[in-house]
A and B are shown apart, each in its own frame.
Chain A
Amino acid sequence: MHRAGCDGTVGVVAPRTKEAREGLAAMKIAVLVKQVPDTATHIQLAADGSAINTAGIKWVLNPYDEFAIEEALKLRDQHTGEVVLVSFGPARVEEAIRQGLAMGADRAIWVSDDGVADVDYLGRAQILVAALSQEADWDLVLVGKQAVDDDAAQTGPLVAALLDWPQAMVVLGLTVDAVGRRITATRELEGATQTVELPMPAVLGAQRGLNVPRYPTLPNIMKAKRKEVRQTSAAALGLDAAELAADCRVVVEGYQLPPPRPEPKVLTGDPAEAAATLVKLLHSEAQII
């Protein structure tokens, strides 16, 4: 197994047992990455409302996936090993993959197959699991807490269920004992923080606050162009496109935009008077206080 260290050098990683003796254990980490519209996008609908109008959209790496990649890179740099990006999506996603490689991931697996583009969450998870199952020895699969396009927050637990691995989602903090193969994760709950302990291999979902993602440096952007991106298809992964389509259980019927907000009432002038008028409006008109 080859690895690219944090200094960009390529070295040979010794077998796990020897490293374990040295208190090190090389980690093989997959990060599932999705490409999504930039968060500054004004969402518009296709004329018939059947889809989002994607014309002119700037596509970016899902923001939460940047936290997942960063965490994987930190773990690799600490424990040695490799970080592999896995993505399922159309031709445009190669750009997001290169972005992740430019952050420092070692290589990527890209399921590019327009024949299964319309699968639901479960189908997508099956495809990603099939891609992961082409290789052995994964220690961790990292995902983003959610993709900021359809905001499903489903893929992590689905992949964990299909792999029959334990999971921790919305992770704010992580300690990995690579030799003892134990993970302690802190998760964000509503109004609380929870500590979860779980064995490896596991699926972890990155939340904002976990780390500060590094920016790709120019040399790393250049290097990323030469890193391996292995392209594959559903058929090559042993999946049947017709079966996946028939299994689709969540069907999107269409989209609508939120109702327009009413014309605002904007007050100017003396702060005390404006404040008093606002309180009256909130009471008698909005009936909120």
Chain B
Amino acid sequence: MSGILVVLEQFEGRVRRVGLEACATAVRLRHGSVSALAFGAGADAVAEAVGALGVEQLLVLPDAPFDRYSSDAFAHAVAEVVRQVEPSLVLFGATAFGKDLAPRVSGLLKAGLASDVTGIESDGDDVAIVRPVYAGKAFQRVRIVGTPKLVSLRPNVQPVGVGEGPAALVSRPAVEVGAPRAVVTGTERNDETVELTEASRIVSGGRGMKASENFRLLDRLAAVLGAAVGSSRPVADEGWVPHSYHVGQTGKVVSPDLYVAVGISGAIQHVAGISNSKCIVAINNDPDAPIFKVANYGIVGDLFQVVPALTAALKAHLDAS
């Protein structure tokens, strides 16, 4: 057994970025040849993108039943491809798709899975794995015994880089699965333009925003920054913003380059979800708010003055550069 298999996720006809992150990681680990598996119509269209990163072989399952997600059918297919390819390591993205699929594959193959991994390094034939626990309040060092080892990678953590490899060779493995039982019958896109867990910049509002309509202030700031909008939990509970905005230990755990916390006190459950951010900016009128202890930069002041001022200053800066 050698080599790495990357299981890609297609969303709206494109491979999710975390799949490319996984391909780049697989190549970096140097555990033999890298192959990737893609499902659904247009799956072979990713041969160039993954080939550029160094993936040699692309296995595609383009036809029914693999044209729509089914956890049971997909898990059987992955398990079957693993038996054929015999990789020592299988990488998934820790998205809703990967979190649904990878443990099911683990159960079918009786293979160990480390989920939502942020650090993975080669150590001889083995891999040393680091994964956040308690929503990032601590990190766990993990080894997987036996092969194949299954790993799901947290999105937005591993670098992709630019590659120049030739397109991957495409082949269609013969895979038999029974009739799918859980089947996707529809997918509806949310309104927000950037998904929080994939966003490189986030502007988040808390109870200090006072009311739903004041989130327009944050929308404007976010538009200038090209950022996604998030929130603390009480704000989502109040219905000021959709539930999908809620960041923290019981919400989304995010890892942007820039996180701007506006009118958020910095409760431990909120901070747990943002501690992976490269740079945290806090805006709060209480100089003793705990958020200032975790922020890189802060402005003490009334957000209703500071946010418009910051929006204007950023716009001026970005227009000038």
Contacts and interface: CB of A to CB of B under 8 A. Distances in A.
Q: Do A and B bind each other?
A: yes
Contacts of A168: 71, 182
B296 A261 contact: yes
Given A251-B142, A278-B281, A265 B103 contact: no
B300 interface: yes
B249 A39 contact: yes
Q: For this complex, into which size category does the number of interface residues on chain B fall?
A: 35 or more
A108 B242 CA distance: 35
B75 interface: yes
Interface stretch (B58-66, B143-151, B165-173): B143-151
B121 interface: no
Q: For this complex, into which size category does the number of interface residues on chain A fall?
A: 35 or more
A282 B281 CA distance: 9
Contacts of A100: none
B175 interface: no
Contact of B104 (A167, A187, A262): A167
B297 A122 contact: no
Contact of A42 (B144, B182, B268): B268
**Chain B binding surface SS class:** mixed
Contact of A256 (B134, B141, B280): B141
A170 interface: yes
Interface string A157-183: 111111000111110100000000000
B138 A43 contact: yes
A256 B116 contact: no
Given A258-B136, A262-B296, A274-B299, A197 B143 contact: no
Given A190-B197, A208-B250, A278-B310, A252 B72 contact: no
Interface string B180-221: 011111111110101101100000000000000000000000
A188 B112 contact: no
Contacts of B280: 261
A170 B257 CA distance: 26
Interface string A245-265: 001111111111110011011
A42 B103 CA distance: 29
B297 A191 contact: no
A232 B275 CA distance: 40
B287 A158 contact: no
Contacts of B249: 39, 148
Given A208-B250, A249-B145, A282-B258, A150 B140 contact: yes
Contact of A169 (B100, B225, B279): B100
A91 interface: no
A223 interface: no
Contacts of B120: none
Contacts of B318: 289
A231 interface: no
Interface string B89-101: 0000001110111
A85 interface: no
A68 interface: no
A235 interface: no
A151 B309 contact: no
A219 interface: no
A43 B72 CA distance: 37
Interface in A38-55: 39-43, 45, 52
B297 A286 contact: yes
B240 interface: no
A170 B112 contact: no
Given A63-B250, A251-B145, A268-B301, 7 more contacts: A41-B268, A122-B107, A150-B134, A155-B103, A161-B104, A189-B96, A197-B183
24 contacts: A39-B135, A39-B249, A39-B250, A41-B134, A148-B250, A153-B103, A157-B104, A157-B107, A161-B107, A161-B108, A166-B181, A172-B243, A188-B244, A198-B182, A208-B243, A249-B111, A250-B143, A251-B142, A255-B138, A255-B139, A258-B137, A261-B280, A268-B300, A289-B317
